[in-house]
Amino acid sequence: MTQDISTTEQRPYHHGDLHRAIVRAALDVLSESQSTEFSLRELARRAGVSHNAPYKHFADKRELLAAVSAVGFELLAKKMTDATKKLDSPRERLAAMARAYVCGGVNNPALYRLMFGGYLAGQDNGRPAIERTAANNMKAQIVDAICDGALGRLIPNTAANTRTIDGAILIFWSQMHGLTLLLVDGLVGPSDRIEELTENVLQGMLDGLANCIPTVPEGVWIGPPPAK
């Protein structure tokens, strides 16, 4: 698997676009170090601007990391879109999205943990709006494939079907998220069998959902958390 959540497909930036320059520097440092323990001063140095420059766009590091996470979701969504461009079957599209998802997390664990971990959650367990929007846009691709018949039948995207659709997403996400972290943490392997492992889990999950989609209980939300 060679796909990853990286910055290589980002457009070149000019120093006049300081916001994007700082986010790009943060993505690069995160990918290289696999740690969020970096300073805004370090990012300013990377971007070739004064050490105070990042504060013109970001109040603090959490705000910066929210922007980084949002770009991570955008990049992952693009990977998923690219993976499904030539596929007509909804099931094949959903499977391709799952492969892109796992690949992204395995190849850049620090960004994946930032996107899907609790680091950015506030005291009310809410997530920053910029990140929540990007995550919902990515989630919409999965919803579209499910509604189009990826699980063996059409499921119209209506209010009456919300709990069924969320039930399918919960199973899908639980399986792919769990597998990604098991692979990242070295609890499942070997690393040269990632594609085969992913495919086995994926097809078993899709077969199971085709037989039964669990409906989530009333009032349950399936990430990201709604704004309060």
Whether 112 and 40 share a structural domain = no
Same domain, 187 and 134: yes
What percent of the chain lies above the pLDDT cut of 70? 89
Q: What's the CA gap between 23 and 25, in Å, rounded? A: 5
Q: Do 190 and 116 reside in the same domain of the chain?
A: yes
Domain assignment present for 176: yes
Whole-angstrom distance, CA of residue 32 vs CA of residue 27: 9
What contacts 198, CB < 8 A, 6 or more positions away? 1, 98, 99, 102, 179
Looking at the structure, tell me whether residues 37 and 135 fall in a common domain: no
Both tokens assigned to 191: 């690393």
Q: CA distances (Å), 59 to each of 40, 53, 83, 115, in order?
A: 11, 11, 36, 20
Whether residue 24 is found in the same domain as residue 45: yes
On whether residue 219 sits in a domain, the answer given is no
pLDDT at site 59: 87
pLDDT of 2 reads: 39
Q: Looking at residue 35, which CATH number applies to its domain?
A: 1.10.10.60
Q: Is residue 217 part of a domain?
A: no
Are 50 and 73 contained in the same domain? no
Whether residue 73 is found in the same domain as residue 124: yes
pLDDT (mean) for 183-209: 90
Copy the structure tokens of residue 50. 């004064």
Q: Among 77, 78, 76, 96, which Cα is nearest to 86's? A: 96
Task: Decide if 220 is inside a domain.
Answer: no
In a domain, 5, yes or no: no
How many domains does the chain divide into?
2
pLDDT tens column, 69-108: 999 999 999 999 999 999 999 999 999 999 999 999 999 9
44, part of any domain: yes
Burial bucket for residue 214 (CB in 10 Å: 0-12, 13-18, 19+)? middle
- For the entire predicted model, the pTM comes to 0.86
Is 228 among the domain residues? Answer: no
Specify whether 139 is located in the same domain as 26. no
Same-domain status, 87 and 200:
yes
At residue 6, the pLDDT reads: 52
Angle at Cα 24 formed by Cα 18 and Cα 26, nearest 5°?
105
- Positive or negative: CA dihedral 41, 43, 46, 52: negative
80 found inside a domain:
yes
Q: Which domain holds residue 184?
A: 69-211
Q: With 80 as the cut, is the pLDDT of residue 8 above it? A: no
